[in-house]
Structure 1
């Protein structure tokens, strides 16, 4: 018995082939009751779409003069307590996603909801449906993300951050453990012996303590590199940083806030002569620093690729199971650490500098 096709399926249902195709692709153009009838008939008949044929046809349509296929939504929630330093990272994710989506024949539009926007997620859901938008990139949320107010039976989605459970979607984020390991390798190669790190509590908590875990693993496996306690606090400020710095005497400091450079200098440190500073995210630095480029544009790029692939496969809703894709950071040399060619143990003890 020949395998069922779109043509035979449409004929048996008394519908057009276009209607059947749109329904199986999850298009909102088909009435829900009709779409459900088509899907049940397709399942009963054993119909299986050919993904290779679908990809070829998509490429043929894209190459016919006008490459534009449709709109993807980048959805952001307004949060009053989101740190200002998150802004540049957000913009780079959006830039990477926009560039890659354009190359794949899609346009990205930014939609904001919550906070003082006056737009609830339920209202946004209506807007997206009226626009016929089916692909969503959820932008990073400072607190626990909850997008369950959207009708996920209509959307394919990805989350451009560490983890989302409401709903559980594919996520793309920096590889925090590997990235910190890269930074610590660069530090030890330059002869530093007492690395210390500070991190704002909620910043690491929302990542399930990925930064802390990588730092503790390094200390456990490198006992000769000092055992400077991690500085973690609800807020990292000059007072608690200075007390920690003077007490534990790190010769190199890792953290997200480049303002620590001024606090180090106020304690008598000379960077990079006697001490070093490494930024865990150079995009946030207010002054040139050595450190990690977490490559947020690549996070956006990969998010766009995963989302477009889901649309090509006609996948909607929460995947089973959801996966996490991580992007390794890139090390960037800078003026806050000595060059590898000058690597040597610091001759002057930190205690003498900070007395």
Structure 2
């Protein structure tokens, strides 16, 4: 831009205005500056142009735009009451606000919402991008959102979706399970077991059980215990868990469910003296558990960054090549395991 200004004998600001066809610059001068820019091979960066436009709009309006935070969970209040979904929600909201965007919240399963109705509402609200949170039962986006996805960029948090496959941010479930297994081995455990509901394992396309299976390769075959996937049935009949436990005799259990501790105690066993417990989604409301912290708030924050990149690049529609950002988990010490020495 400096070269154009030098040859045209004007300021860089005048060049910037002329390249945007700003009427503050006389028509003849605009054409002369644009011709010089073409001859010098100048190409305007659309992402920078969009960002500068947004910054000017924020200066006059107080916001760069509005993002839709859509709760896809079947529970309307999951963003308040669920053990983990509020972390995604707050991570998204905090990051968006910190970058100058406002947030409108919606519930995906609002009665009477057709695809056209969703599209009309999001357009009327001036929504620039969609953040989808709370998918816990399936990894398929309801068809009522398809018309909106064709026009507005979208990022999913927490899971990888199919039909359609969208860009997403989530914890690396495979690495989480594998690192938990490796930590258990480091702590001296030799017969880890996994208690996980089949529905959750299916939701993440078996990445929990895949990491567990990889960890089992560190053990001799006789110490490789099959997972227990019948969690729902065990809540009704704890005898299912008891029979699995008595058959395989694990010395530590990986799980997502606090009720497993109750089942262990009902067998007359002590935690951690008789058996260890490792939470695969460590939560602050149960700080005594040892386990893996998934950083779901960071996942929400990263999803916002991904979405803003798409907005700045003018991307929308179903992506031909979805982009994934995986968050690394971290270990949190707790009193549900024993430590060497």
What is the TM-score with the length of structure 2 in the denominator? 0.79
**Contact 1:198–1:255 (CA under 8 A) maintained in structure 2:** yes
What secondary structure does 2:301 align onto?
Answer: helix
Is 1:95 the counterpart of 2:95? The answer is: no
Aligned residue pairs, count: 305
Alignment CA distance shift 1:135-1:56 (3 Å): closer
Which residue number in structure 1 is paired with residue 126 of structure 2? 132
Q: Cα RMSD between the aligned structures?
A: 3.4
Is 1:270 the counterpart of 2:265? The answer is: no
CA distance in 2, matches of 1:154, 1:183: 41
Question: Could you tell me which of 221, 224, 236 is aligned with 1:227?
Answer: 224
Which residue number in structure 2 is paired with residue 345 of structure 1? none
Unpaired runs of at least 5, structure 1: 12-45, 343-355
Is 1:74 the counterpart of 2:40? The answer is: no
Alignment CA distance shift 1:181-1:289 (3 Å): same
Which residue number in structure 2 is paired with residue 299 of structure 1? 299
Which residue number in structure 2 is paired with residue 201 of structure 1? 198
Which residue number in structure 2 is paired with residue 183 of structure 1? 180
1:334 offset after TM fit, Å? 0.8
Question: Could you tell me which of 141, 147, 167 is aligned with 1:145?
Answer: 141
1:295 offset after TM fit, Å? 0.9
CA distance in 2, matches of 1:188, 1:180: 13
CA distance in 1, matches of 2:268, 2:61: 62
1:63 offset after TM fit, Å? 7.8
1:264 offset after TM fit, Å? 0.8
1:140 offset after TM fit, Å? 3.1
Which residue number in structure 2 is paired with residue 104 of structure 1? 99
1:54 offset after TM fit, Å? 2.5
Alignment CA distance shift 1:81-1:65 (3 Å): closer
What secondary structure does 1:110 align onto?
Answer: strand
Alignment CA distance shift 1:129-1:53 (3 Å): closer
Is 1:53 the counterpart of 2:60? The answer is: no
**Contact 1:136–1:158 (CA under 8 A) maintained in structure 2:** yes
1:132 offset after TM fit, Å? 1.4
**Contact 1:195–1:252 (CA under 8 A) maintained in structure 2:** yes
CA distance in 1, matches of 2:78, 2:224: 30
- Within 5 A, what are the aligned runs for 1:26-37? none
**Contact 2:276–2:338 (CA under 8 A) maintained in structure 1:** yes
Which residue number in structure 1 is paired with residue 250 of structure 2? 250
Which residue number in structure 2 is paired with residue 16 of structure 1? none
What is the TM-score with the length of structure 1 in the denominator? 0.76
1:125 offset after TM fit, Å? 1.8
